Structure 1
Amino acid sequence: MAHNLNFNEKTDKYSFFSVQQKAWHGLGQIVSDYPTSEQAIKHAGLDYEVVKSQLFTKSSGIIQTTDSIEIGNSELEVPNYFANIRTDNNAVLGVVGKDYHIVQNRKAFNFFDAIVGGGDGILYETAGALGIGERIFITAKLPDYIRVGNGDDVTEKYIFLTTSHDGSGSITAAFTPIRIVCQNTLNASLRSMSNVVRIKHTSGAKRRLDDAHKVMGMANRLSNQLEGIFNEWAKVKVTDQEVKKLIQLALCPNKETFDLLKKGAEDEISTVFKNTVEDAFAYAMVSDTQQMSTTKGTLFGVYNAVTGYYQNVRKYKDDEAKLQSIVLGGTAQLKSQKAFELCTSFATDGVETLNLN
């Protein structure tokens, strides 16, 4: 995929920064230390504002009256539509309706700072702008961890936010635990709370964004429960046969396939689904990260086999498709949450979870 990073001709830099590691084709600014929100905005080239400007168009040039035809070239106002314009270079980012509400880039960073009650706890890791600045993204690491087993199996906790200035999409924030040893995104369910929040660009966006940072903050605090859950799962032993059955159930694409599994008619199941299951099962059996004391032959290993398959094995059209699938409510996230539910049930009911009757 082309990098599509915004290039700012005034500063002669790409609008992107990353802490310590190169990313996005090696473009942008690499900084050695985690920046404050104010520094991150500048490093990423996001220190611009957006305004709505009334749209005008040229007339057809022909004005016909009852007596004559006149040639003109007047401007006509386009009712109820506006252009979103960057104030630093007058670039037109997109056309929006009268009810569209701009959320400035700085407000997006304020969202992160509010989650931990100030800028000292949040660790901004990447941020940038795409295209001509019509879409921005930010990832930030939360200050604490989820530790499983003896502490060698560590999961970091991230918040990801993206928003657009062209009217094409909503503000989206996602809570994303990432297991360090294999960098697979867990996307675990947290009680009944969604780990993805979407907010439309309307007049209530500011209030809903304020509410959303509370939701993400609660998700962060509730994630402490995951440490207890994952540590319990690491003690629950499962056979290879049970691993494969749990993977089948987690990845099952529809009721038709489920009914075939229920009847034991695996010969009638699609080759695509069989191959998907075999790939995930192989990952569960042979991946180095599945040979740890916390994952080998354990329920926690089953869960990581599903999440790790989508992160490390599954092929995607491009990075954007992978992000959509894993973080922003796509297939990978849905299947990971299904795996979480199945593992929760197995930890309580054992093999009864595998009974399809």
Structure 2
Amino acid sequence: MKYALIEQFLFLTTSHDGFGSITASFTPIRICCQNTLNAALRNRSNAIKIRHTASAHDRLKEAHKLLGITNLLAKEMEGVFNQWSKVRITDKQVKKLVQIAMAPNKETLQNLQTGKKDEFSSVFTNMVDNVLEYTATSPTQHMETTKGTLFGAYNGVTGYFQNVKNYKDTETKFKSIMAGNAFGKAQTTFDLCNEFAQIGVNALN
């Protein structure tokens, strides 16, 4: 089977009236005209909107760090994600991975390991269901590199926090993805995927 490389392009959009937002986002589409810009807007991931304020310049610097826009990190992550795109993972394994990554505390992890599903909170159960729904239905999850792959599982979790989860406002979303709950869940998911790539399903036990 021939695997397609995962290429991510960064684009910035902004309005010229001073009232819109600056949007920084990764997209798998290279933008060269209005048509591809529209396609990129539909396929964007890791998107952040920053209001035109006095601190917008500083926010862009923070977004630069958040999105990992450094040559070294980009090359390292490209290698990792392309490797993950070749690792197959079943729906059952994806669910287990998501449950572990979304677990809010040790008690939930213990209930998960012992099969005490009735002890799960409704908040936890709903979050897991929403992540799995995004993972299964988002158009970006049906690409050759994401459908049924470890990279798709990782992309499903991060995509949920970036594109589905409701936040109080843009500031709250930015802080969560930058160094808050979303960041922590993404890091946990990354670590789980990295271990799965090395030892397989045993990473979930």
TM bucket, shorter chain: 0.7 to 0.9
Match of 1:161, as an amino acid? K
Q: Tell me what 1:315 maps to.
A: 166
Give, in whole Å, the separation in 1 of the partners of 2:180 and 2:80. 24
Larger RCO of the pair (alpha carbons < 8 Å, separation 6+): 2
Is 1:340 aligned with 2:190?
yes
Match of 2:66, as an amino acid? F
Please, which of 19, 23, 29 is the counterpart of residue 27 of structure 1?
A: 19
Match of 1:350, as an amino acid? G
Give, in whole Å, the separation in 1 of the partners of 2:83 and 2:119. 37
How many residues were matched structurally? 169
Structure with the bigger percentage of strand: 1
Aligned counterparts, 1:1-357, within 5 A = 20-22=13-15, 27=19, 128-130=52-54, 136-138=55-57, 160-161=60-61, 174-177=65-68, 220-327=71-178, 329-355=179-205
Do the aligned partners of 2:21 and 2:51 also contact (CA within 8 Å) in 1? no
Residue 175 of structure 1, CA deviation: 3.5
Do the aligned partners of 1:295 and 1:301 also contact (CA within 8 Å) in 2? yes
Distance 1:255 1:160, change over 3 A: farther
Give, in whole Å, the separation in 2 of the partners of 1:318 and 1:230. 30
Give, in whole Å, the separation in 2 of the partners of 1:273 and 1:29. 32
Give, in whole Å, the separation in 2 of the partners of 1:29 and 1:331. 24
Give, in whole Å, the separation in 2 of the partners of 1:173 and 1:283. 26
What's the CA shift string for 1:19-53, capped at 9, x where partnerless? Answer: 65439x961699xxxxxxxxxxxxxxxxxxxxxxx
Q: Tell me what 1:193 maps to.
A: none
Give, in whole Å, the separation in 2 of the partners of 1:28 and 1:248. 37
Secondary structure, in 3 states, of the residue corresponding to 2:56? strand
> Which consecutive aligned stretches of 4+ in structure 1 deviate over 6 angstroms post-superposition?
none
Q: CA RMSD in A?
A: 2.9
Match of 2:192, as an amino acid? L
Q: Tell me what 1:4 maps to.
A: none
Give, in whole Å, the separation in 1 of the partners of 2:88 and 2:21. 46
Do the aligned partners of 1:303 and 1:340 also contact (CA within 8 Å) in 2? yes
What's the CA shift string for 1:270-296, capped at 9, x where partnerless? Answer: 010000000000111111110000100
Distance 1:160 1:268, change over 3 A: same
Q: Tell me what 1:150 maps to.
A: none
Give, in whole Å, the separation in 1 of the partners of 2:127 and 2:51. 33
Q: Which runs of 5+ in 2 are unaligned?
A: 1-11, 23-48
Match of 1:175, as an amino acid? L
Q: Which runs of 5+ in 1 are unaligned?
A: 1-18, 31-124, 131-135, 140-158, 163-171, 178-215
Structure with the bigger percentage of helix: 2
Residue 221 of structure 1, CA deviation: 1.2
Residue 234 of structure 1, CA deviation: 0.3
Distance 1:325 1:287, change over 3 A: same
Secondary structure, in 3 states, of the residue corresponding to 2:67? strand
Do the aligned partners of 1:238 and 1:298 also contact (CA within 8 Å) in 2? yes
Secondary structure, in 3 states, of the residue corresponding to 1:223? helix
Secondary structure, in 3 states, of the residue corresponding to 1:315? coil
Give, in whole Å, the separation in 2 of the partners of 1:290 and 1:273. 22
Give, in whole Å, the separation in 2 of the partners of 1:336 and 1:21. 27
Match of 1:352, as an amino acid? N
Residue 173 of structure 1, CA deviation: 6.9
